[in-house]
Structure 1
Amino acid sequence: MPPPSLPAAQDQAASAVRRAGKGKKVHPLPVPDGAAMGEEKPAATTRRPAADWLTPAGVAGILARHPLPALFACGLLLFMAVEYTIPMIPPAAPPLDLGFVATAAMHAAIDARPWLNSLLAALNTVFVAMQAAYILWAILVEQRPRAAIATLMMFTCRGLLGCSTQLPLPAEFLGSPMDFPVGNVSFFLFYSGHVAGAVIASLDMRRVGRYRLAGLYDALNLAQVVRLLACRGHYTIDLAVGVGAGLLFDMLAAKYLESKNIETRCCSNCQKALVSQKLTS
């Protein structure tokens, strides 16, 4: 039973409200549908119907916002048609490689000049040594193991694939004792370890801000691609997949380091920059 003072206070408040509102018309507040029954009205959504993107305006909007996926979609349709119409190379015929066709003149030039072939091979071997030296410097001196781990993964996978599917050496291959591997011993074609190693080194350089050096390595890698095509040391697909392999194994090395909770250390200049940034902030 409530105390006597509570009903008296309630009556006084009710009478005060009646006196204040006397002579005035009071409009009740609108009650939402279903509120009296304890139901909540669902919030209005602004999602467009699923079929809107099929309209000309929707397709134009997709092309404007996402041109790259749209280009790949056109490529898919194109090569679906090509796949069912292009004639395949007969088993007895040599492989068709458009990279070989594009470098036919350079191939004839180095074929007629063995000294030029050996010079280009020697320069290419120097570039491979530069890749290895940089990756070793990164892990031994700067204590950043990502590039080294990616290189180990890359060459191991390359060896497995090279043993699993052995491609024939091109009939026009121009070997040189100055090439790497020396004397062309143990020649795996798929994929190009030369190209993949250069990509791994270039990615590592960009991570620590060595953009000019990375650009130099990219330019040398492109020259390496042309030289390998001209001397028939690799098929075009080996070189293209070599680029993808470098990117892939660099990411896999990062995932491995993250799983081990290992933070890759930067060079001393990067560490000084980070310290100064923390002090200023």
Structure 2
Amino acid sequence: MPPPSLAAAQDQVAANAAGNGIDARRRAGKGKKVHPLPDAGTTMGDGVGMGGGESRKGRPEWMTPAGAAGVLWRHPLPVVFACGLLLFMGVEYTIPMVPHAAPPLDLGFLATAAMHDGIAARPWLNSLLAALNTVFVAMQTAYILWAILAEQRPRAAIATLMMFTCRGLLGCSTQLPLPAEFLGSGMDFPVGNVSFFLFYSGHVAGAVIAAADMRRVGRLRLAALYDALNLIQGVRLLACRGHYTIDLAVGVGAGLLFDMLAGRYLDSKNVDSGENRCCSSCQKALFSQKLTS
């Protein structure tokens, strides 16, 4: 049996050798990605190292019953749209088409049939509703002009210019027939009951642009009022057969789209993205015009 001093020296040499081996392995493995060993009881292909995105059987987690329930709970809107896709894929191949000699089928016209009959029997009511609608259009126009001239916020005006230009192009490209039950009035806008494009509704799109601008600057109550009047306007246009339902729906989308495009245009010109005020050069031009006037 070696003396205690010799045994201690041998233990120190063995410890140093073990430490040197560990350091060597660390240096050799430096910079390499080390994956943890699988737990006991798991086998290859059990989904280890998949970041939790796949189940133990190799399927994506959302394909399991629990995963599908979680997706439905967290993302109900895409699920509803997916169901709508499946529904209308079936409708597309089974719905009968309207014959070429028949009038267009419009569910909005069917829903407002009683209102249409009541307005048709009272010409004075038709003129009154047309006049009120024209006043609402004037309110939209006045607000948009006020925003650019008095408050120097051109976004709504630019969106309106884009919207009406696109509406004119689409109206020239595809002209839908005027509904046979159309109730015109000399008080309607355009004033004098002149001809106008049906697709899409500039009445609705203009109100959407104005309301979006109001929300942007915190005029929430005024925006809610315009939304309510826009809804009433849409019902009146359907009852008087001044627009098809699709004209109104696309009018809402057009208002939102061109408001967004106008905002992107102003952002590209380094205009303040908060309230979208005029750029410095525009303000100088407006200021010089005020001085000269």
TM-score (norm 1): 0.82
2:205 partner SS: helix
Indicate which of 224, 232, 253 corresponds to 1:223.
232
1:80–1:207 CA distance, 2 compared to 1 (3 A): same
Q: Distance in 2 between matches of 1:191 and 1:177?
A: 21
Unmatched runs of 5 consecutive residues or more in structure 1: 1-17, 269-281
Matched, 1:61 2:81: no
Does residue 40 of structure 1 match 2:32? yes
Match of 1:211 among 208, 220, 229: 220
Q: 1:143, 1:264 within 8 Å by CA — same for their partners in 2?
A: no
Answer whether contact 2:263 2:276 (CA < 8 A) is retained: no
Q: Is the 8 A contact 2:156 2:262 kept in 1?
A: yes
1:74 equivalent in structure 2:
83
Question: 2:79 aligns to what SS in structure 1?
Answer: helix
Which one of 234, 243, 251 corresponds to residue 242 of structure 1?
A: 251
Distance of 2:121 and 2:24 partners within structure 1: 91
Quote the offset at 1:195 in angstroms: 0.1
Contact kept? 2:214, 2:222, Cα under 8 Å: yes
| Worse-superposed segment, 254-263 or 47-56 | 47-56
Q: In the superposition, relative to structure 1, how do residues 53 and 107 fare at CA in structure 2: closer, same or farther (>3 Å)?
A: same
Q: Counterpart of 1:254?
A: 263
Cα distance in 1 between the residues matched to 2:75 and 2:25: 42
Distance in 2, Cα, partners of 1:37 & 1:43: 12
Distance 1:89 1:147 in 2: 39
Alpha-carbon distance in 1 for matches of 2:31, 2:231 = 68
Match runs of 1:87-236 below 5 Å: 87-236=96-245
CA contact under 8 A between 1:34 and 1:41: conserved in structure 2? no
1:146: Cα distance to partner? Answer: 0.2
Identify unmatched segments of 5+ residues in structure 2. Answer: 1-7, 37-48, 278-293
Find the aligned partners of 1:265 and 1:58 in 2 and give their Cα distance: 40
Residues paired across the two proteins, number: 251
Amino acid at match of 1:227: R
Distance 2:139 2:35 in 1: 63
Distance 1:115 1:267 in 2: 43
TM superposition shift of 1:184: 2.4
What code does the residue aligned with 1:247 have? L
Aligned to 1:247, what secondary structure does the other structure show? helix
Deviations 1:49-83 (A, max 9, x none): 26221111111111011000110000010001000
Q: Post-superposition shift, 1:25?
A: 5.8
Post-superposition Cα deviations, 1:225-275, rounded to whole Å, max 9, x if no partner, equal 00000000000000000000000000000011011112267499xxxxxxx
SS in structure 2 of the partner of residue 105 of structure 1: helix
Q: Which amino acid in the other structure matches residue 89 of structure 1?
A: V
> Bigger shift: 23-32 or 123-132?
23-32
Q: Which amino acid aligns with 2:207?
A: A
Q: Percent identity?
A: 74
Which shows bigger deviation, 26-35 or 86-95? Answer: 26-35
* Higher RCO (CA-CA < 8 Å; seq separation 6+): 1
